[in-house]
């Protein structure tokens, strides 16, 4: 098999030169100028050797080294620097770097360093214990969703995952930083989980892990967190994907602010039906969350999955109503997935002050001014209410299973969606009569 190297450096000339040298030596090269992206690439491709610069614009090289080693104890990393010190080199070696190289690297030095590192890597892996389980902290079984005993039913659709792994890149909507994620298939009865690359912490896509619902849905466990999960979960819910591992740093990429790109990714990679039927949460009676003012959110029995939403904002949005029935994935892709997240010009200063919205760009959300949309043409006249439905479809997947029921929403948001999920989980977790 052709050996593979990952080169991490923010200078394009070094990326090109070093990749050319290694390619001449028969090495396949992955390249990035981002420490965050390096973690995603490593998780997806497991290169034999990493060339890692000390100085990176988005993440300290030593911190990146530590995260890669936490992800793979046998990771073989060559640190590079053009203006390092002896103390930095010593620290890198103590943290697990295989060697420390001073720039500029010569042709012979680059190949010699790679060959030595590759030999070390192969020897380490040959004498190592078997690969750790896909979930580092799994018990006697994978972290499958908690059973909702009285509401869970076996459905007619199969469980589903992806045909193979893939990588998705973009910006974090609230962090503003470059981020990426690996989507990796899982066996039946696994559920959907997020794996925090820096810490190796597994966070289930379940309401029990919800940490925050201000402006987006954030999952957390111990010191790790994953932000803005609702758009990805919405696409997975609509596509019927029940088993998946999502490896990432701290935030799902916002892409264009909708779920359309996630849908395209799922279609390009392909969905794989598995040999067990999926289980569904089947609503047995009406459940309701009553929030402040005119806000209302309820779900009632229904042979399928449907969401209606009444939205009301001052002009230029006004009052909008939309009713959506999930008949198939194509319907979701056409009617709901393209609807983008939105924000108001008057709120930007406040959002920036609390560290939110930093990744908002003119092409990944709808910016609403006092009397008109500032930055884009709407994809639908009622794009705002459709996006609210997109969020509900995603937040309700925090049940851990697809939902069978009819949802009626009025002026509600993430906090209300999560409150309804918690109510269903509380009732469903009681033993059946």
Whether the CA torsion 32, 34, 38, 40 is positive or negative: it is negative
Tokens of 397: 């997947």
Give the side-chain half-sphere CA count within 13 A for 290: 2
- DSSP letter for each residue of 345-363: GGGHHHHHHTT-STT--TT
Query: CB-based contacts of 391: which residues, under 8 Å, 6+ apart?
Result: 230, 231, 234, 413, 414, 417
- State the DSSP code for 145: P
Please say whether the beta carbons of 64 and 56 come within 8 A. Answer: yes
| Cα-based distances in Å from 131 to 68, 69, 165, 190, 349 | 15, 14, 18, 19, 48
Residue 298: strand pairing partners: 288, 408
Please say whether the beta carbons of 15 and 9 come within 8 A. Answer: yes
Q: Give the H or E element holding residue 248.
A: strand 244-248
R_g (Cα) of the chain, nearest Å: 24
Please say whether the beta carbons of 294 and 410 come within 8 A. Answer: yes
CB atoms within 10 A of CB 90: 11
CB atoms within 10 A of CB 401: 26
- CA pair distance 276, 156, nearest whole angstrom: 10
Please say whether the beta carbons of 366 and 378 come within 8 A. Answer: yes
Please say whether the beta carbons of 161 and 4 come within 8 A. Answer: no
Q: What are phi and psi of 198, to 5 degrees?
A: -60, -40
In the chain, % helix, strand, coil (3-state, to 5) comes to 30, 30, 40
Active site residues: 414
């Amino acid at each position: 098999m052709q050996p593979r190297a990952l080169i991490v450096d923010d200078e394009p000339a070094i990326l090109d030169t070093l990749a050319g040298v290694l390619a001449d030596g028969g090495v396949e090269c992955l390249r990035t100028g981002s420490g965050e992206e390096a973690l995603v690439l490593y998780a997806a491709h497991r290169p034999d050797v990493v060339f890692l610069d000390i100085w990176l614009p988005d993440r300290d090289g030593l911190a990146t080294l530590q995260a890669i080693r936490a992800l793979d104890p046998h990771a073989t990393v060559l640190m590079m620097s053009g203006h390092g010190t002896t103390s930095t080199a010593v620290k890198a070696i103590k943290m697990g770097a295989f060697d420390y190289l001073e720039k500029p690297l010569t042709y012979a030095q680059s190949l010699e360093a790679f060959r030595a590192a590759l030999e070390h890597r192969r020897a380490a892996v040959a004498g190592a214990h078997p690969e750790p389980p896909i979930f580092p902290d799994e018990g006697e079984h994978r972290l499958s969703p908690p059973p909702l005993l009285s509401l869970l039913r076996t459905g007619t659709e199969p469980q589903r995952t992806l045909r193979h792994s893939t990588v998705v890149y973009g910006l974090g909507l609230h962090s503003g930083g470059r981020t990426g994620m690996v989507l990796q298939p899982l066996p039946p009865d696994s559920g959907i989980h997020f794996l925090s690359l820096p810490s190796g912490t597994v966070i289930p896509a379940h309401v029990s892990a919800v940490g925050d619902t201000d402006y987006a849905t954030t999952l957390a466990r111990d010191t790790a967190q994953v932000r803005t999960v609702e758009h990805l979960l919405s696409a997975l819910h609509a596509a019927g994907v029940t088993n998946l591992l999502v490896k990432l740093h701290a935030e799902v990429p916002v892409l264009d602010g909708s779920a359309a790109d996630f849908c395209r990714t799922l279609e390009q990679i392909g969905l794989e039906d598995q040999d067990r039927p999926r289980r569904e949460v089947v609503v047995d009676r009406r459940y309701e969350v009553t929030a402040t003012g005119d806000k209302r959110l309820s779900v009632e029995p229904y042979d399928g999955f449907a969401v209606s939403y009444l939205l009301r904002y001052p002009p230029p949005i006004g009052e909008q109503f939309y009713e959506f029935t999930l008949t198939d994935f194509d319907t979701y892709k056409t009617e709901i997935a393209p609807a983008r997240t939105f924000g108001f010009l008057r709120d930007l200063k406040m959002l920036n002050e609390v560290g939110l919205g930093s990744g908002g760009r003119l092409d990944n959300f709808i910016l609403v001014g006092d009397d008109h949309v500032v930055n884009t043409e709407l994809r639908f006249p009622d794009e705002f209410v459709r996006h609210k439905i997109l969020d509900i479809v995603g937040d309700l997947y925090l049940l851990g299973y697809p939902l069978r029921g009819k949802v009626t929403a009025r002026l509600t948001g993430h906090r209300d969606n999560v409150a309804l999920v918690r109510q269903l989980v509380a009732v469903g977790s009681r033993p059946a009569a």
